[in-house]
Amino acid sequence: MRLGYTLIYVSDVAATVAFYESAFGLQRRFIHDSGLYAEMDTGETTLSFAAETMAEMNGLAIRPNSPRDLPAGIEICLVTESPEAAYEQAVGAGALAVKAVEAKPWGQRVGYVRDLNGCLVEICSPVHP
Amino acid sequence: MPWPSDYHEHAESTATPHAIEAEWTFTASSDGVHVVLPDGRMDLIVAFRGEDDCPVEDLRLLIVGPAQRWTGVPVARGDRFFGIRFRPGRGGACLGVESAALRDGGIFDNDVDDVLGAHAQSLRVAATPAALAVTIRGVARQRAASASELPSPVQRAIELVHVGGGRLGLEEVAVAVDMPERTLRRHLSHSLGLSFKAYSSVLRFQRTMRLLTRDDHPLSLVDAALEGGYSDQAHMTREFRRHGGFTPGARPPLVLIGMAFD
């Protein structure tokens, strides 16, 4: 077993992809023609987005994310050597500033924003052993 | 899901207005009573007899309102039905009726003429079943194309109710679409024809029934009650009796219409 994908159900796949490109500098791998599914080019562990309506089609019931609601107890962690600049870029692109980047006792620098759908995104520096 | 083989459904295509969810046909292959399970949608239906290239006989027009309870429809071998199912919340506007007034009921026969006017007349003069099929599709599409849209927060709220499998509370849906709870409640009751609570309950019933009856790895009663959003198995059983007239452990009856299609 290995972790293959992190998938977030969203109301608008194309808008979410565009947001992740402008706010976090990620690249899209592809958006399916249906507009209901997309993958970001995130290396070994794929970050993907699927339309909420896909959840119903799959027989699932979910609590949709909403920027107006408490975020779900889960976060996407994006790692960069310059989290301060990444944080500024994200907020400039419309991410909700939750907690500015600060240094942790173990030396990591960590900040938090919420994306256009209200999902928590952690922006942090790598942990150097 | 145990579909009767007499039932066929065509999901909407890109040519179909969004307000139309499906076009379906049913031909009874034997005498009996078909159970119609509730799905909260509205249908425009023609019932008749006659082979495809022969005259239409015994034509009846029906507008079926949003249901939360099952009903039994007696059919005789050879009875035929063409139906148009409208998307949740859209049937009333498309057909020009107050959906809440048709809750667990409908408008039948000559009363349909009062509602549909010239459209009803065009259905009545269709010479053959083949022409009738074309006409009912045309009537539905025309009405759907000219019906007013739902306010977008209300449309989104209905979508959220579906995505949540009928398990979200009105309060959180209202927050998500940025509308006061009371206003949203009123909008949903008006467009769906069922209250938020009743509609959510129908969705839970439908989804849980699928979890219990899917061909591969149906859920156990305990797991289905949990995943379906029921407080316990007894609660699930009560709701199944109320909506479907059967218990979760039993096979659901064959359905005639009114099931959302997987």
Cα distance from B176 to chain A (closest Cα, Å)?
6
Please give the backbone phi and psi of residue B139, each rounded to the nearest 5 degrees, phi first.
-60, -45
Q: Give the orientation angle of helix B170-177 with respect to helix B152-163, to 10 degrees.
A: 140
- B166 shares its domain with B128: no
Q: Please indicate, yes or no, if residue A129 is contained in any of the structural domains.
A: no
- B139 shares its domain with B11: yes
- B134 shares its domain with B210: no
* Any A CB within 8 A of B87 CB: no
Cα distance from B93 to chain A (closest Cα, Å)?
23
Residue A59 predicted with pLDDT over 60: yes
Averaged over B156-173, what is the pLDDT?
96
Residues of chain A that touch chain B, judged by Cβ-Cβ distance less than 8 Å: 9, 11, 52-53, 55-56, 59-64, 66, 68-69
Tokens of B75: 């059919």
Cβ within 8 Å, pair B172-A69: yes
Cβ within 8 Å, pair B164-A62: yes
Residue B132's nearest CA partner among B123, B141, B140 is: B123
Comparing A71 with B2, the larger pLDDT belongs to A71
Q: Which residues of B touch A11 (CB under 8 A)?
A: 156, 159
Cα distance from B54 to chain A (closest Cα, Å)?
39
The predicted structure's pLDDT at residue B1: 38
Q: Which residues of A touch B224 (CB under 8 A)?
A: none
Q: Please indicate, yes or no, if residue B262 is contained in any of the structural domains.
A: no
Q: Which residues of B touch A68 (CB under 8 A)?
A: 175-176, 178
Tokens of B130: 């083949």
pLDDT band for position B194 (50/70/90)?
A: very high
CB-CB contact of B12 with B22 (8 Å): yes
Q: Please indicate, yes or no, if residue B79 is contained in any of the structural domains.
A: yes
- B178 shares its domain with B137: no
3-class secondary structure for chain B? CCCCCCEEEEECCCCCCCCEEEEEEEECCCCEEEEECCCCCCEEEEEEECCCCCCCEEEEEEEECCCCCCEEEEECCCCEEEEEEECCCCHHHHHCCCHHHHCCCEEECHHHHHHHCHHHHHHHCCCCHHHHHHHHHHHHHHHHHHCCCCCHHHHHHHHHHHHCCCCCCHHHHHHHHCCCHHHHHHHHHHHHCCCHHHHHHHHHHHHHHHHHHCCCCCCCHHHHHHHHCCCCHHHHHHHHHHHHCCCCCCCCCCECCCCCCC
pLDDT band for position B15 (50/70/90)?
A: low
Q: Which residues of B touch A59 (CB under 8 A)?
A: 207, 210-211, 214, 262
What percentage of chain B reaches a pLDDT higher than 70?
93
- B170 shares its domain with B213: yes
pLDDT in tens, B92-139: 999 999 999 999 999 999 999 999 999 999 999 999 999 999 999 999
Cα A70 from chain centre: 16
- B72 shares its domain with B91: yes
Q: Please indicate, yes or no, if residue B114 is contained in any of the structural domains.
A: yes
- B65 shares its domain with B109: yes
- B58 shares its domain with B176: no
Residue B258 predicted with pLDDT over 50: no
Residue B84's nearest CA partner among B74, B75, B94 is: B94
H or E segment at A22? Answer: helix A13-24
Output the DSSP codes for A67-114: TTSPPPS-EEEEE-S-HHHHHHHHHHTTPEEEEEEEE-TTS-EEEEEE
The predicted structure's pLDDT at residue B2: 44
pLDDT in tens, A27-37: 999 999 999 99
* Any A CB within 8 A of B163 CB: yes
Q: Please indicate, yes or no, if residue B166 is contained in any of the structural domains.
A: yes
H or E segment at A123? Answer: strand A120-124
- What is the pTM for the complete model shown? 0.87
Q: What CATH number is attached to the domain comprising B172?
A: 1.10.10.60
CB-CB contact of B193 with B91 (8 Å): yes
pLDDT in tens, B213-222: 887 888 999 9
Q: Please indicate, yes or no, if residue B187 is contained in any of the structural domains.
A: yes
Q: B262: nearest CA in chain A?
A: A57
Q: What CATH number is attached to the domain comprising A80?
A: 3.10.180.10
Averaged over A78-92, what is the pLDDT?
97
Query: Which of B14, B152, B163, B203 is best to mutate for the A interface (most A CBs within 10 A)?
Result: B163
- B27 shares its domain with B131: yes
Q: Please indicate, yes or no, if residue B183 is contained in any of the structural domains.
A: yes
- B120 shares its domain with B201: no
**How many domains in chain B?**
2
Q: Which residues constitute the domain of residue B133?
A: 7-146
Could you tell me the strand order of the sheet in which A46-51 lies?
Answer: A5-10, A46-51, A37-40, A28-31
**How many domains in chain A?**
1
Q: Provide the chain B residues 6-25 that lie in CB contact (below 8 A) with chain A.
A: none
- B172 shares its domain with B204: yes
Cα distance from A129 to chain B (closest Cα, Å)?
42
- B125 shares its domain with B229: no
